[in-house]
Each structure stands twice: as structure tokens, then as C-alpha cells.
Amino acid sequence: MEGASPRRTAAAIPGAPQPVAAYNQRFALDLVRLENGRIFGDETGNAAVKSWEQPLRSPVDGRVVVARDDMDDAEGANFVTEVADAAGNVIVIELDTGLFVVLAHLRHGTLRVGAGDRVRKGEPLALVGNSGNTTMPHLHLQVQTHRDLWDPDNRSVPFAFDPAGHVPARNDRVRASVRGR
């Protein structure tokens, strides 16, 4: 809404775990893998979600400034109570432009990079998981102005996957190109 505060609010249910809402995710995407048009398969638990343990490659060239890999994956939905845990296992890459790419909810124990590492587009980083504040295995992707997701001055910014500059929006389908096959 025009002129509305970017902060989000939610009603609290007494005694229930409260999800952590971020005010800076306007241009963030939660990506899931579709197989034959379906998110879920016949398996049970996290394995039922086609995104579970999918390989994640760096979408950009840059320097890793955050590499967290200490949270267990939830089996199903998980709502954290500490904002520091919301992204779960996460990689943040600083671009030469000064912007930051956040890749969140990664599979515990699968990060292949650490803080300070330089990464190139296409380099293997981790597997998609279900850590942090999440309802199912997926990849949270956003480009933002600050390294820290919770910096009060941080804002997500629009980004495009294709040279035409199309900015993805809710429910868009994005086709991945796989090189080397």
C-alpha cells in the first residue's frame, strides 16, 4: 500500500510459537522446485518436497561474508523465536556493487564455502534444506543493501534473472538453465 510502513505485524496466539516476520523482504523470493508441476512427491517428511537437498550454485561472483551452518533442519514447519535464527543455515555474498545476496534455509552440514571465500557464478555452495523459520524445504533468495538481514536500515532490492530485466514476482515460474549437461 502506498505510504504504508514497511514493517509487518501478525496477531499473536497465546502459548503458540510465534513466527519471526521481517520488514525488509519486499523483493525476496522463496523458491521451490517443481517436478511435473508438483512441489510434493510420494515420499514422507522433508524428502516429500522436491526442493529438499537440491544442489545450490552461486548465482553471482562475490565474496562470502556470512556462512552459517550450525542449525539442524526441521522435519516440516519450524517457527523460530530468535530473529538471529530466522534464516537458518545461510550464505551471504557481497557483490562488487556493495549489495548482498542472501541464500537461506540451507541443509545443515552441506556448506562448501566459508566467510572470506571468493565465489564465482555457478560454483557449488550447499544443498537446499529446511533450517530456520520455514514451512517446508525451499530456498529463500534476496538481494539487499546491508550484510545483516536485521539491520534496521537494510532493504531488499529488486533483481532479475534474465538479461531482459524481468523482476520475478509471486507465483512466477522461473526455468533454470543447467550447464555442463
Contact 71, 131 (CB under 8 A): yes
User: At 107, which amino acid appears?
Assistant: R
8 pLDDT above the threshold of 90: no
Residues in the chain: 181
**Chain segment 40-98, per-residue pLDDT in tens:** 999 999 999 999 999 999 999 999 999 999 999 999 899 888 888 999 999 999 999 99
**Chain segment 94-142, per-residue pLDDT in tens:** 999 999 999 999 999 999 999 999 999 999 999 999 999 999 999 999 9
Cα separation values, 167 from 14, 149, 163, 170, 172, Å = 39, 21, 11, 10, 10
- Rounded to 5°, the CA angle 10-131-121 comes to 110
pTM for the predicted model, two decimal places: 0.82
User: At 131, which amino acid appears?
Assistant: S
Those residues with Cβ within 8 angstroms of residue 18's Cβ, 6 or more apart along the chain or in another chain: 10, 12, 79, 81
Query: Domain map of the chain by residue range?
Result: 29-157
Kindly report the CATH class assigned to 29-157. Answer: mainly beta
Exposed/middle/buried for residue 48 (C-beta within 10 Å: 0-12, 13-18, 19+): middle
- Please tell me whether residue 46 adopts helix, strand or coil conformation: helix
